Structure 1
Amino acid sequence: MAIMTGVMFGQYNPDNHVVTISMNYMNNMDEVEDGSWTKMGELMEEESSKMNRLDKDMISSLVLGHRWSGSLNEIVYMREWKSIADADKSTVGTGDMRKKGWPNDEKRKAFFTAYRKYWTGKHKDLAVMEMVTSRVKRNKKKITENSVVAVIEYYLKPMSQVEGGSVEEREALFNEYFNKVIMKNDKIISRRELKHYWSGSLGGGKIPVHNVTEYANMVDADNTSINADTIKKAWPDEDERKAFFEKRNKYIAWGHKDIAVHTNWVKLAKR
């Protein structure tokens, strides 16, 4: 599976955050000596709960397993940082955090021996993206059942192709839609908007943007009209609703790409 490999546009807003996306690979369970999904889950929960608490630089983290994308053994980590410097600082400090999480040398060695047998040791760095902090919806609820995360790429028109357009108007319209629709729709648990930072390329046509949206289940994720009722409540007057979307949609280019659909392992997440 490939995720976040499209062309995007650069990080120009220092108030935005950085999202790193990487993939780790599990060993086949039938090849793991005395391995089981239950034991692996317990080990992953212990590792995540301790490291998430100790890593003060990491703001949030999603651990995304196989659903309708890629292979069963591919696990995607989507982690948020205030800056790329914080991401580097966290990586460098991993060893020290592990010593704090498992202060006894023998117990730490035993834990990671058991933990690492489930992994190939291989990983792939997929992307470093900019997250638009003015349009992030964070999960405020306690969730115990795994959720569904869908990644969709849509496209903005270059400003030169938008008659009478401006970056200021575009951002104001996108913010209005986000605040009135995405934030008010309880079926959307969380959402991140990601742009190009240090991945992909820039220029020469449409500008891709990735929406990473979390739903409670596949029924909600597959519902193409999930925002219909919220939109009508936000703009009850039909003419005003039509005028808003005509103005907003002039900035959006035709088409979209379905990048991935994952199972979000909620017990491993840092919210």
Structure 2
Amino acid sequence: MKKAKAIFLAVVLGMLLMGNTSFAQDEKNNLVTVTKLHWNIDNKNFSNDEWKAVEKEYLDKVVKKNPFIIGQLVLMHSFTEDNTELLLVTIYENWAAIEKAGDKDDELIKAAWPDEKARTAYFEKRGQYYAHHHSDEIYASMPGAKIAKANFDKDMIYYVRVNHFAYPKEGTDKEFTDLEKQYFDAVTNKNDLIKAYYPNRHAWGADNTQFTEVYVVDSLADLDSALNKNRDLYKAAWSDETKRKAFDEKSGKYFTGKHSDYIYKSVHELSK
């Protein structure tokens, strides 16, 4: 029984085992799948504790034992357009690992629930929490992540900003990378309120222009403070108004100027 898998942010979102916060060109690019699930709002017997227990059982018996899954994270709606959504974010080394992980899941599921009736009963119980429809995306991680040293021991706020690439004719990969590195070094990496940061680009899905940034903070109050601190650090790094304007123009040409914002809350007990 293969799980539905796909991408995000974000996200973001879970590259918890990748190392330090360097911005190296040869930084390893992982694939991040995000599956957008939806609660079954017709489930009148919903229990949050029971749902966590059911998912924790799958996490312990399958996900944590699957060597092809680098990390996994569950994000809940906080401020998004749909209060029924939740995101399953999974990290893989490459495309081959995604395929191998699916096969390994099948093997681990049969080992964990060898009795077919018991296996069917478990997945029916698990399935009752979700609506039938879901959507999938796959992103590729980019250089410049600020990576958490370990899984968080509490629920965290994940702010996801989805920008769109403009693909300017006069632009270059080198210039874009250099500009992103300058900003990362001067702002994101110096902001102690930002506990983790994950930039990702589209790999497979509905919109190939997407550039997604995921910021992880302790609370909603810290999110507001972190964004204000970003502005302060930016102005301090480019204190000369002429140089700041020149930087804005160089970096701005790579984006359309259109973006969307989403805020999620993690379920720390369901992380690998």
TM-score (norm 2): 0.75
Shift of residue 211 of structure 1? 0.8
**Unmatched 5+ residue regions in structure 1?**
5-12
Does structure 2 retain, via aligned residues, the 8 Å contact 1:151–1:210? yes
Structure 2 partner of 1:89: 100
Once the two structures are superposed, residues 66-117 of structure 1 have per-residue CA deviations (whole angstroms, 9 ceiling, x without a partner) of 2111434322112221212211221233221223445676765554343333
Instruction: Describe the superposition over 1:6-26 as per-residue Cα deviations: whole angstroms up to 9, x where unpaired.
Output: xxxxxxx99422222212232
Matches within 5 A, 1:53-202: 53-102=64-113, 108=119, 111-120=122-131, 122-132=132-142, 134-160=143-169, 162=170, 165-201=171-207
Shift of 1:196: 2.2
Q: CA deviation at 1:28?
A: 2.7
- Deviations along 1:204-248, one digit per CA (max 9) or x if unpaired, are xxx541112222111222343132454467x3x734x96367336
- Farther-moved stretch of structure 1 (100-109 vs 144-153): 100-109
Which residue number in structure 1 is paired with residue 22 of structure 2? none
CA distance in 2, matches of 1:190, 1:116: 32
**Percent identity at matched positions?**
20
Per-residue CA deviation, residues 231-267 of structure 1 (Å, 9 max, x unaligned), is 467x3x734x963673364132463422422121122
The counterpart of 1:47, out of the listed 38, 47, 58, is 58
Partner of 1:213: 215
Aligned residues: 247
Distance 1:67 1:14 in 2: 32
- Report if the CA contact (8 A) 1:49-1:268 is conserved: no
Query: Does structure 1 conserve the Cα–Cα contact (< 8 Å) formed by 2:43 and 2:129?
Result: no
Q: Structure 2 matches for 1:221-232, cutoff 5 A?
A: 221-223=223-225, 224-231=227-234
Partner in structure 2 of residue 238 of structure 1:
239
CA contact (8 A) 2:32 2:141 kept: yes
**1:119 counterpart SS class:** coil
| 2:32 counterpart letter in structure 1 | V
C-alpha separation between the residues in 2 aligned to 1:44 and 1:245? 49
> How far is 1:55 from its partner?
1.8
Deviation by residue 1:184-220 (Cα, 9 ceiling, x = unmatched): 3221122221212222355xxxx54111222211122
Q: What residue in structure 2 maps to residue 257 of structure 1?
A: 259
The AA in structure 1 aligned to 2:104 is G
| 2: CA distance, partners of 1:113 / 1:30 | 13
Measured in 1, the distance between the counterparts of 2:61 and 2:192 equals 30
Q: CA RMSD in A?
A: 3.2
Are the structure 2 counterparts of residues 254 and 119 from structure 1 closer, same or farther at C-alpha, using a change threshold of 3 Å? Answer: closer
Q: Is the 8 A contact 2:43 2:128 kept in 1?
A: no
The structural deviation recorded for 1:171 is 0.6
CA distance in 1, matches of 2:44, 2:207: 40
Distance 1:232 1:20, change over 3 A: same
State the alpha-carbon separation in 1 of the partners of residues 248 and 242 from structure 2: 10
Q: Distance in 2 between matches of 1:228 and 1:265?
A: 29
AA in 1 matched with 2:251? Y
- Alpha-carbon distance between aligned partners in 2 of 1:261 and 1:31, rounded to the nearest angstrom: 27
2:164 touches 2:259 (CA, 8 Å); kept in 1?
Answer: no
CA shift at 1:175, angstroms?
1.8
Letter of the 1:246 partner, please give it.
A
Structure 2: distance between partners of 1:98 and 1:244: 55
Q: Distance in 1 between matches of 2:202 and 2:256?
A: 19
Could you tell which deviates more after superposition, 215-224 or 59-68?
Answer: 215-224
- Could you say if the C-alpha distance between residues 183 and 56 of structure 1 is closer, same or farther in structure 2, counting changes exceeding 3 Å? farther
